[in-house]
Every structure is written in C-alpha cells, then in structure tokens.
Structure 1
C-alpha cells in the first residue's frame, strides 16, 4: 500500500509548483464539467420556456 502512495507523493505533492499546478488544473477541469452539466440541467428543467424554444413564435424572417 505504501508503494503507490509514495509514488503519488513523489509525482504530485513533493514539489510545490507541481502541486499548485495540479490544484489549478483540477479546479479548472471541475469548473468546466460543472458548467456543462449545470447548463444541461437548466435546459432540461426549463425546456419549452426559454427564448431559444419559443423564438419562432415571435420572430419572423425577412424571407417570408
């Protein structure tokens, strides 16, 4: 058990610059994933009530 924890420590935590980079990278990745899934949830819960869903009722194109 100590073998893989030691390798994780030596790879990510031993040098402060690498540790901070990993933290910032993980935070950025979490932000992107959270934003995508919260937007999907919002669109799912408000389907049919958003402008993108009802725009065709109110806006006419110049071609018609």
Structure 2
C-alpha cells in the first residue's frame, strides 16, 4: 500500500504543475459524470411528463 501511495505522489503530486493538471482533469471528469448521472435520474423520475415525451400529442 505504501508503495502505491509513493508512486502516485511521485507521478501526480510532487510538482505543482502536475498537481494542478490532476486537479483540473479530476474536476472536469467529475463534473461530466455528475451532469450525465443527474440528467439521467431527472429524466427517469419525470418520464412521460417532459416536453420531449409528450410533444407528439401537440404537434400537427
């Protein structure tokens, strides 16, 4: 376990530039994952109530 922590520290967190890049990439992927997941949950809860689900009833 200590060896893995040391490798992660040396490869990602030792230099400020790689630390900042790691934080930025982590934030980007977290945001995308959170956005897709929350959109899926919202659409699952509101299935049949959203405009894209009922639009065919009102279009000519």
Shorter-chain TM range is: over 0.9
Number of equivalenced pairs? 60
Measure, in 2, the Cα distance between the counterparts of 1:11 and 1:4: 11
Q: Which has the higher helix share?
A: 2
Is residue 43 from structure 1 mapped to residue 51 from structure 2 by the alignment? no
Structure 2: where are the runs of 5+ without partners?
A: none
TM-score (norm 2): 0.93
TM-score (norm 1): 0.87
Q: CA RMSD in A?
A: 0.9
- Return the index of the structure with the highest Cα Rg: 1
Moved over 4 A (4+): none
Out of 3-12 and 17-26, give the one that drifted further: 3-12
Structure 1: where are the runs of 5+ without partners?
A: none
